[in-house]
Amino acid sequence: MYKEEFDDLEKFEREDTKHKLPLGWLILFIGLIVFGIFYTYMYTPAFTGWSQSKVFEESMKK
Amino acid sequence: MSENKKLYSNALIFSLAAAITVLIGTIVTMFLPMFTEGMHPKLKELKPYTALQLAGRDIYQREGCVNCHTQTVRPLKSDVLMYGDYSKAGEFAYDRPFLWGSKRTGPDLARIGGKYPDDWHYQHMTNPQAFYEKSNMPKYAFLNDRKVAVEKTISHMKALGFPYTDADIEQLKNSTEMDAIVAYLQSIGAAVAKKAILQIDESMVEEVSPFAGNKDAVLKGERLYKAECAGCHGQNAEGNIGGSLVDYAAAENPDRDIYLTIANGFEGAMPGFAAACKSNFFVTYPRLKVQCRALRLSMTKKKSGRWWSTLRV
Amino acid sequence: MSAIFWGVIGLVAGLWISAQMWDAALNLPPYFSFGRLRTFHTNVLVYGLGIGAEFGVFYYLVIRLTKRPLLFPKLARFHLWLFNIGVAIAGITLLLGWTQSLEYAEFEWPIDIAIVILWVIFAINIMGTIFKRKEQQMYISLWYIIATIITVAILYIVNNLSIPAGLDKSYHLFAGVNSANVQWWYGHNAVGFLFTTPILAMFYYFLPKSTGLPIYSHRLSIISFWSLIFAYLWTGAHHLVYTPLPDWIQTLGIAFTLFLIAPSWGSVVNGYFTVESDWSVMKNNYLTKFFIAGITFYGLQTIQGPSQGIRVISSLIHYTDWVPGHVHMGTMGWVTMVICASVYYIIPHIYKTTIYSEKLANAHFWIVLIGQLAFSITMWITGVQQGAMWKMTNPDGTLKYTFMEGLLRNYPYWQMRTLAGVVFVVGMLLFIYNVMMTIKKGKAELEAKVEPATATA
């Protein structure tokens, strides 16, 4: 019963745009990597001394 | 990349590549940290659970309390004001698993231990709606009728390697599940010293209430009383877990003392309501003044024998 | 499709607890109180409906993509029975209060072992079939299937490592902060590898199949796939923002969570561009609607999710009803839409017939869509309101509202949410009716075909 239902993989993907990456998406992709590195640097106590408890102490002073 | 036919035509290589890809993040964020001290902190004051407390914790898990109650106070001003000091990593060394939860349908419980007297918990667990009329918490009255599973609890203590004595077992035998869960609730957060986030002292409060005789303030006070105080002190202030306020009012305490009692509470007997009515800004911020003074007024009024019914007109 | 049956049970449980949220009298302790039913609801839907449907659909997909029958067809049948018995027993144990209190891993260890056995049976069958396939190249759907099988196995086993203490009780091998870290590494990725990758496998197969339009970009599929499964495993800590978990793990988790927008949107963009070559399929082909709405919700979900991770947003909405709103958009919008569409596609193909009623399917689509939107939107409003009320302070720095005041304001929203849930369930009942009738029709047609054949012979 399976025979006639096998799929032809060739039909699943377009040939003409096979290697294309939409530009907007690529910008998003790279942008997020850059931002991720920046963010990790900024908010890791070992790098910048930032820490949640410090921020908290400051907020309590107000 | 996409030309790499081999990767996508060899299932074994592909599976390995996928496994390695998912393992990198796993190792960095989950596996490696396990071997750092930061993941296994323990406060000096922290003690393993007693047999009764553990039995209570088992019940807490069994009933799914964690679905509605978190057990971690965030280092955020509003969290700390509402619940108390923020949670420290070293408080949880004996928690298997952690019960921080993910949803606050009910309030956080990380600082519940010692906030109320035991009686409060017994009555509140049995019928939460007696304290907060519109509370959505289920009634857990059935815990009163069930005995703690002694053998099971002992085997649990052994599995966890917690110490226990014969006296502990004796206590288990005489305990209901309600006893156990109250014992557990009272132990939560015990390792962290209680410190009042807002402490009001005499110098901050006027001697005589500036709201004496203000009808609006009294009405507001009545509403506040019903919402926050009636559970313990009774619908008609006749006293229940907390003392009778009729008697209290008859004792003619000065306004200032009444105010300070409400604001600061008594350790282990009555929670303070300072976060809801800080006093040193009375003059600058009238809204607050109304709220806090109103609380006091409703009691002052009782003294003169005119209780709420007459005031509602 | 046993998954459907469990779907109904789970949904009813969902409605019940949603009502319990605003009327405590609906709790029937001890077995049917909120604490136990909530766990029952999530687990029966995740394991019964979600995984059940995935088992079924994957068996179907793999056969077609490898061009060979299953390696062990009898094992698959056995697997089905074991699965159904397993879900039933597991559901009962939760109502009995056997729980590890680890979200989405509540089952106690005997059930865990059963689940691992089930998964191994499934893996042997699927992987075996893939290894012995007759088609040289592996299609994208197979990548996602492989990644799902491997990762779920790792996740499930590690997080369920525990110290047994009696048949109904065990204690997490990990304690305190560490326990939290392991749990959410698991918890978040269980969502990822049970609700994202398998559904993407379905999406990448059924979208081109049902529309006849080929996928837009192969390279985009590749980059999305690898970066998705790479980044996912780093992100669990975003569930633990502002907890005592060390700051650096939280920060890393947030950064990777934000990055996840990119690979997720890779699939979204790929789907849109695929259909863009001929938007008329949207009108003419009732299934396309499900897939495109599904991927749209996936897109929204994957923007909303990462932004929730950011500290400032987390501080407002964490622990509120916003989060159930978020979860239900994913499950009711993305997962359910794609699973339903896949079932609509598969059933007529298996029974060699056409769908019983396309109109009914369209009605199902709109009702479910409205129900889901109403549900999620009310939850977001509640969540923001709740979060804001908890946070709001008077000018002197004291809190403006007590906890109870905040709670009371939620009740009307929670009532609306129950209503939205009812709408959604009505939609799903239409779906079930439609599928049942299609099966009946298919069987009748088959008999009709057989009869003339025997008559002439």
* Kind plus residue range of the DSSP H or E element containing A52: helix A52-61
Q: Looking at residue B313, what is its pLDDT?
A: 21
Q: Looking at residue C21, what is its pLDDT?
A: 42
CA-nearest of B112, B117, B110 to B86 is B110
Using one digit for the tens of pLDDT, what is the confidence trace for B216-227? 767 777 777 777
Which of B8, B36, B76, B197 best probes binding to A when mutated, by most A CB atoms within 10 angstroms? B76
In the predicted structure, residue B56 carries a pLDDT above the cut 90: yes
Q: Looking at residue B279, what is its pLDDT?
A: 36
Q: Looking at residue C200, what is its pLDDT?
A: 92
Q: Which residues contact C373 (CB under 8 A, 6 or more apart)?
A: none
Q: Looking at residue B211, what is its pLDDT?
A: 66
Q: Which residue in A21, A28, A44 is closest to C217 by CB distance? A: A21
* Kind plus residue range of the DSSP H or E element containing A35: helix A23-42
Q: Confirm or reject contact between B9 and chain C (CB < 8 A).
A: yes
In the predicted structure, residue B278 carries a pLDDT above the cut 50: no
Q: Taken in order C129, C135, C137, C138, is the CA torsion positive or negative?
A: negative
DSSP state, A10?
Answer: G
φ, ψ for residue B156 (rounded to 5)? -70, -40
Cα–chain-centroid distance for residue B270?
Answer: 13
Q: Confirm or reject contact between B25 and chain A (CB < 8 A).
A: no
Contacts C446 to A, Cβ<8 Å:
none
Q: Which residue in C35, C185, C244 is closest to B67 by CB distance? A: C35
CA distance C224 to chain A (A): 10
CA distance C224 to chain B (A): 12
What number is the ipTM of this complex? Answer: 0.86
B69-98 residues touching C, CB cutoff 8 A: 70, 72, 74-79, 81-82, 87-89, 91-98
CA distance B99 to chain A (A): 21
Closest CA in chain B for residue C401: B276
Amino acid identity of residue C354, one-letter, is: T
Closest CA in chain A for residue B75: A56
Residues of chain C with pLDDT under 70: 1-35, 47, 101, 394-397, 449-457
Instruction: Note whether A56 contacts B77, CB cutoff 8 Å.
Output: yes
In whole angstroms, what is the distance from residue C115 CA to residue C153 CA? 10
Number of CB pairs < 8 Å for B and C? Answer: 297
Q: Looking at residue C342, what is its pLDDT?
A: 85
Instruction: Note whether B75 contacts A52, CB cutoff 8 Å.
Output: yes
Q: Looking at residue B142, what is its pLDDT?
A: 92
Using one digit for the tens of pLDDT, what is the confidence trace for C169-210? 888 888 888 889 998 998 888 888 888 898 999 899 888 888
In contact, C329 and C300? CB cutoff 8 Å = yes
Q: Looking at residue C254, what is its pLDDT?
A: 92
CA-nearest of B258, B114, B121 to B187 is B114
CA distance B107 to chain C (A): 7
CA distance B251 to chain C (A): 30
Contacts C227 to A, Cβ<8 Å:
29
In contact, B161 and B96? CB cutoff 8 Å = no
Contacts A61 to B, Cβ<8 Å:
none
CA-nearest of C375, C380, C377 to C424 is C375
In contact, C24 and B138? CB cutoff 8 Å = yes
Q: Looking at residue B213, what is its pLDDT?
A: 65
In the predicted structure, residue B300 carries a pLDDT above the cut 50: no
Per-residue confidence band for B280, with pLDDT thresholds at 50, 70 and 90: very low
**How is residue C221 written in tokens?**
């599929």
Instruction: Note whether B77 contacts A60, CB cutoff 8 Å.
Output: yes
Q: Which residue in B22, B136, B285 is closest to C24 by CB distance? A: B136
Q: Looking at residue A10, what is its pLDDT?
A: 66
Pick the CATH number of B51-187 from 1.10.760.10, 1.10.10.10, 1.10.357.10, 1.20.990.10: 1.10.760.10
Q: Mean per-residue pLDDT for B66-92?
A: 90
CA distance A19 to chain B (A): 8
Note if the bond before C30 is cis, omega within 30 degrees: yes
Among the ranges given (B117-126, B175-184, C298-307), the one the predictor scored with the smallest mean pLDDT:
C298-307
Q: Looking at residue A28, what is its pLDDT?
A: 92
Domains in chain C (CATH in brackets) are 1-195 (1.20.210.10), 233-457 (1.20.210.10)
In the predicted structure, residue B193 carries a pLDDT above the cut 90: no
**DSSP helix/strand/coil, A3:** helix
Contacts A19 to B, Cβ<8 Å:
2
Number of CB pairs < 8 Å for A and C? Answer: 101
DSSP state, A47?
Answer: H
Instruction: Note whether A39 contacts C255, CB cutoff 8 Å.
Output: yes
Among the ranges given (A50-59, B118-127, B290-299, C348-357), the one the predictor scored with the smallest mean pLDDT:
B290-299
CA-nearest of C119, C302, C76, C121 to C200 is C302
Q: Looking at residue B306, what is its pLDDT?
A: 33
Q: Which CATH class for the B202-311 domain?
A: mainly alpha
CA distance C106 to chain A (A): 31
Phi-psi region of C402 (alpha: psi -120 to 50; beta: other; left: phi over 0): beta
Q: Mean per-residue pLDDT for B114-140?
A: 90
Which of C101, C160, C242 best probes binding to B when mutated, by most B CB atoms within 10 angstroms? C101
Amino acid identity of residue C162, one-letter, is: S
Note if the bond before C164 is cis, omega within 30 degrees: no
Q: Looking at residue B294, what is its pLDDT?
A: 47
CA distance C161 to chain B (A): 11
In whole angstroms, what is the distance from residue B64 CA to residue B58 CA? 10
Q: Which chains touch B (3 or more CB pairs under 8 A)?
A: A, C
Q: Confirm or reject contact between C80 and chain A (CB < 8 A).
A: no
Amino acid identity of residue B133, one-letter, is: E
CA-nearest of B169, B175, B145, B167 to B156 is B169
Q: Looking at residue A31, what is its pLDDT?
A: 93
**How is residue C426 written in tokens?**
């009505």
State in Å, rounded, how far the first CA of chain A is from the last one.
74
Q: Which residue in A11, A21, A62 is closest to C214 by CB distance? A: A11
Q: Confirm or reject contact between C64 and chain A (CB < 8 A).
A: yes
A21-50 residues touching B, CB cutoff 8 A: none
Per-residue confidence band for B276, with pLDDT thresholds at 50, 70 and 90: low
In whole angstroms, what is the distance from residue C396 CA to residue B81 CA? 12
In the predicted structure, residue B89 carries a pLDDT above the cut 70: yes
CA distance A17 to chain C (A): 6
Q: Which chains touch A (3 or more CB pairs under 8 A)?
A: B, C
**In the predicted model, what is the mean pLDDT of chain B?**
80
Per-residue confidence band for B246, with pLDDT thresholds at 50, 70 and 90: confident
Q: Confirm or reject contact between A29 and chain C (CB < 8 A).
A: yes
In whole angstroms, what is the distance from residue B312 CA to residue C282 CA? 64
Closest CA in chain B for residue A59: B77
Instruction: Note whether C175 contacts B1, CB cutoff 8 Å.
Output: no
In whole angstroms, what is the distance from residue C343 CA to residue C2 CA? 12
SS (H, E, C) chain C: CHHHHHHHHHHHHHHHHHHHCCCHHHCECCCECHHHHHHHHHHHHHHHHHHHHHHHHHHHHHHHHHCCCCCCHHHHHHHHHHHHHHHHHHHHHHHCCCCCCCCCCCCCHHHHHHHHHHHHHHHHHHHHHHHCCCCCCCCHHHHHHHHHHHHHHHHHHHHCCEEECCCCCEEECCCHHHHHHHHHHHHHHHHHHHHCHHHHHHHHHHHHHHHCCCECCHHHHHHHHHHHHHHHCCCHHHHHCCCCCCHHHHHHHHHHHHHCHHHHHHHHHHHHHHHHCCCHHHHHCHHHHHHHHHHHHHHHHHHHHHHHHCHHHHHHHCECCHHHHHHHHHHHHHHHHHHHHHHHHHHHHHCCCCCCCHHHHHHHHHHHHHHHHHHHHHHHHHHHHHHHHHHCECCCCCECCCHHHHHHCCHHHHHHHHHHHHHHHHHHHHHHHHHHHHHHHHHHHHHHHHHHHHHHC
In contact, B241 and B117? CB cutoff 8 Å = yes
Q: Confirm or reject contact between C233 and chain B (CB < 8 A).
A: yes
